[in-house]
Structure 1
C-alpha cells in the first residue's frame, strides 16, 4: 500500500493549530491518538518559542512517537538548540538570543531533563522516498558529514558534549538560510541532493512569504523553487500565516 506522507514545520507553540491540521488530514483522533497506520508524518523542527504552548507541542509529538515510532518523525530545528543552550547556559549569549528570538518563560521552565534529552537526541536530517528533509535552507549540514546518518551522529555528539561553544556552533549553522535562492541556488541544491540523496529537498525555517515577498497572511501553500528541487513549507504561523501540513504525495 502506498504510504501517505505529510510534512509540517515551525509550529512554534501553536498546539491547537497543529491538532486541528493533523485531524483534518486524518492523522489524529479526538483523544490525540495516531489513527492512520499507513501514513507518515515529518515535523521539521522549531516546535517551541514565539507561540502559546511549545511544551504542549513537544509532549503531543513525543506521545505520537511512542504510539507510532516508525510513522512519526521529528527533526531538530534551531529553536530546539536555542532552548537547550538557554537551559544549560541561561546567562550570556544563549540567554540573550533566547530572549530576542521569541523565547517564552513558561516553555523554558517546563523543559525538564527528560524533555531536554529528547530534544538533544532529535535527528537533524531525514529521508523519505525521494524527499530529503531538513529544518534549515542551508548547506551547512555538509559540515557535519556526507550522509544523513553521519550528520545526525555528529550533531548528537556536539550537543551531548555539554560544551557551550560546540552547542553555539550547531545553533549558528542551523540559523543559516536562503542558500538556494541565490543565482547559483539550483546548482547548490543539485549538489546537496547528490551528496545526501533524494530528488527534492524539503525545508522549513524561512517562511514562504519572505521567499515570495508577500505577507504571510496571503500564503495558502508551500513553494517549489530552485528548478523544482527545493520545497519550502513554513507558512509563517508565528507571522500570521497558516500552519501548513503538506502532503508529499
Structure 2
C-alpha cells in the first residue's frame, strides 16, 4: 500500500507543479500519477517537460505519466494548438511514448475498497463498449495501455471526452451501471473562478465540489467520478491541491 497522489492538468505551469510534487516525493512510498496535458497555454511548457523528465529518470517508480490530448498532437493526432513545442521538446514526448514512459491509463484501489480507472478525459459508455466492456478498472487500464488508436484519437475517446456532456451524461443514461469509478482531468463541470456550474441539474444533484482543492465528486450508480483538472489557465490557479489517497494500492 502507498500514498497515491493524483495531479490534474498542468498546462505549462511548472511552478504550480513543482510546489505540490517536490515535497511528496520525499516519501519513497508515495506514487504520483499525472493525468496528462503537461503542455500548452501556460508560461513554461519546456520547463514542465524538463521537470517530469527528471522525475522519470530519478524517481521512475514513483511517477506515472499519462498522456493528454495536448501531448497527443505530437504522437499521431492532428495538431490543434497554434503554438508548437520546440523540436527537442516534441522529441522528448516521442521518446517517452516509444519507451512506455507515457501511458494511457492507470488504476487504483483506495483503502475503502473503491476502484478507479484514471485517464486524461474519462471512458464514456461507447468507448467502454468498444474496449470490450471490461468489468474492472484494472482490465480497462490494461486494455487502454495497448493503445487502441480507434479510441485514442477519437473526439469522444479517453483523451478528448468532455466531462459533463460526454462522460457523465453517457453513464447516467446507460442501461448498465458504471462498473468502476473514474478519475479524470481535461475538463470540468464547474467554473472554479466564478464558483458556477457548467452542467445540467441531474449531474449537479449528484456532485460535491471542493472549491479550494479544485476537485469535483459525482456519484454515478454505486461509483464516484472525480474531476481533478484545476484549470490553471495562463498563469496558474491561485489555490489548488492534488487528490491524495492514503493506504491505496496501485493496480495497473
The two structures share one fold, judged by TM-score above 0.5: yes
1:39–1:71 Cα contact (<8 Å) kept: yes
SS at match of 2:47: helix
2:127–2:151 Cα contact (<8 Å) kept: no
1:137–1:203 Cα contact (<8 Å) kept: yes
CA-based RMSD: 3.2
2:242 maps to which residue? 245
1:181 maps to which residue? 168
Tell me, which stretches of 5 or more residues in structure 1 are unaligned?
A: 28-33, 87-93, 159-165
SS at match of 1:182: helix
Choose from 231, 237, 241 the match for 1:236.
231
1:132 maps to which residue? 117
Choose from 89, 103, 108 the match for 1:123.
103
Partners of 2:176 and 2:86 lie apart in 1 by 35
Structure (1 or 2) with the greater strand fraction: 2
Structure 1 residue 126 displacement after superposition: 0.6
SS at match of 1:220: coil
Q: 1:186 to 1:131 in 2, by over 3 A?
A: farther
Partners of 1:153 and 1:176 lie apart in 2 by 19
Structure 1 residue 234 displacement after superposition: 1.0
Structure (1 or 2) with the greater helix fraction: 1
2:122–2:167 Cα contact (<8 Å) kept: yes
1:110 maps to which residue? 88
2:155–2:161 Cα contact (<8 Å) kept: no
Q: 1:48 to 1:243 in 2, by over 3 A?
A: farther
Tell which has more relative contact order, 1 or 2 (C-alpha 8 A, sep 6+): 2
1:125–1:133 Cα contact (<8 Å) kept: yes
1:180–1:226 Cα contact (<8 Å) kept: no
2:196 maps to which residue? 213
1:78–1:171 Cα contact (<8 Å) kept: no
Q: Which stretch of the first structure deviates more once superposed, 231-240 or 9-18?
A: 231-240
2:97–2:103 Cα contact (<8 Å) kept: no
Q: Does 1:45 align with 2:44?
A: no
Structure 1 residue 83 displacement after superposition: 3.3
1:186–1:226 Cα contact (<8 Å) kept: no
Q: 1:21 to 1:154 in 2, by over 3 A?
A: closer
Structure 1 residue 128 displacement after superposition: 1.8
Q: TM-score, with normalisation over the residues of structure 1?
A: 0.70
